[in-house]
Amino acid sequence: MSELSPPAISSSGISTTKAKGGAIGLVLLALLLLPAPLLPPHLLAETVQSMFGVSWKAAYFVAAVLLHTFFYGAIGVIVAFASPQASTSRGRLLRLVLVPLILLTGVVIVRSVRLGHVHVFSNALIPLAACLFGVVSGLLFIQHGWRAAACATVIALVGLAWAFLPSRSSLLSRATEAQLRRLVAKAPLLPAGDARFGVLLQTAFAPMDGASPQVNSIEHNRAAILALGIAIGHERLARFVGLDHQADLVREAMALRQRTTLSGRDDWPRHFCLSAALTVLENPFASDASGLMKEQLDALAHGSGFSFTDLAADRAGVRFAEAATDSEPAATAMQSRLRQGYEAADYFPRNCNLPENLTVEEFRRDYGGVGTLRYRQMMKEIETLLDRCTALSPSRSSQK
């Protein structure tokens, strides 16, 4: 007799088998439909921030951990109750080992396929730990029967629906939407080229009439960067702040990308704004979020190969976002800087003559791969170039 035996063939057994099959189907459907990465609604983060009086970054991290634990834990419980029954002590021990292993392997594979890359282990640690906790708990308390499994199914479905529902009431969502409207309204007056990028930056960071008193300088700048990320970077960012990326407003904002350049290139503003927006999302699983945009970032290069100049634009966007939201004084200083004028060299090096258009073979031949000494030297050279841009450091952002 098998250690893990299916239920006896009877009317009740058939019913149970169908129920278990349905539960496994729901798990697969949930994993396939689950947004990748799974980011918490901003309303949840705001609730945590209000309840515990912590910083936004800490509140967002706690909200993300809660959401991942809640959802993946429920997935684990469902799988535990849907697993084959074991009639012996050895079989139950074997199930306690095999079922979590199969579930964790499945989650890793599905998440990697959804993200388009194998995610960093630290980003997968919480979902995997939650799955493990859920499945082990379910197996240990299997005697509670299908009522517990049904409850876990409901919890998982509610969590999935919550992940898809936009946080319309979020203060950041409303501020970002207001910024998008302001950028769109400016469209008829925008020049072309590098000057267009500068005017968009100045418009987004300028004081806003009728702004909520709850929107301090940091929140104002975050909304400005997110609006620029949606308009110039990629419209899919809208979903991360509770906006519909297919809404008319977002589509109108997308038109701002046309004739917008940075140092004469039309792809660098997109790299800059997209990376800046991903930075201010304050997502503790940031590399997964970046992985979600990897396909779009690669498409900006039109298949031209690996580019260190694109990496420089990415890093410039990250440093700009950090400088603009590092603290209340730094946020105010960035707004003041842009009110005084826009000098492109303050935000991106004038002469960024770095290797680009490298094929896979050329990159491996000349640099060996990501993380090698030669690669790190190139990254250090990029940081040295960006150090000369006075707007990309919080301590220097007030200098003009």
Same-domain check for residues 230 and 343: yes
Same-domain check for residues 107 and 208: no
Model confidence, pTM: 0.63
Range of the domain at 49: 4-164
Looking at the domain assignment, is residue 347 inside a domain?
yes
Strand partners, 4: 86
Angle at 164 between CA 158 and CA 167, to 5 degrees: 100
In this prediction, residue 304 carries a pLDDT of 57
Same-domain check for residues 256 and 201: yes
Same-domain check for residues 329 and 282: yes
| Last residue within a domain, chosen from 164, 197, 229 | 164
In this prediction, residue 294 carries a pLDDT of 44
DSSP letter (8 states) at residue 142: G
| Last residue within a domain, chosen from 110, 145, 164 | 164
Helix/strand/coil (H/E/C) assignment for every residue in 7-73:
CCCCHHHHHHHHHHHHHHHHHHHHHHHCCCCCCCCHHHHHHHHHHHCCCHHHHHHHHHHHHHHHHHH
Same-domain check for residues 305 and 210: yes
In this prediction, residue 55 carries a pLDDT of 67
| Last residue within a domain, chosen from 129, 164, 199 | 164
In this prediction, residue 286 carries a pLDDT of 45
In this prediction, residue 190 carries a pLDDT of 94
In this prediction, residue 43 carries a pLDDT of 72
Same-domain check for residues 34 and 93: yes
Q: Are 388 and 302 in contact (CB under 8 A)?
A: no
Looking at the domain assignment, is residue 220 inside a domain?
yes
Same-domain check for residues 203 and 90: no
Looking at the domain assignment, is residue 298 inside a domain?
yes
Crossing angle of helices 42-52 and 56-82, rounded to 10°: 120
Same-domain check for residues 277 and 387: yes
Same-domain check for residues 291 and 180: yes
In this prediction, residue 350 carries a pLDDT of 85
List the chain residues with pLDDT less than 50.
Answer: 1-3, 5-11, 13, 144, 164, 166-169, 284-303
Same-domain check for residues 205 and 150: no
Looking at the domain assignment, is residue 400 inside a domain?
no
Same-domain check for residues 126 and 184: no
Looking at the domain assignment, is residue 398 inside a domain?
no
Domain total of the chain: 2
In this prediction, residue 11 carries a pLDDT of 47
Same-domain check for residues 125 and 226: no
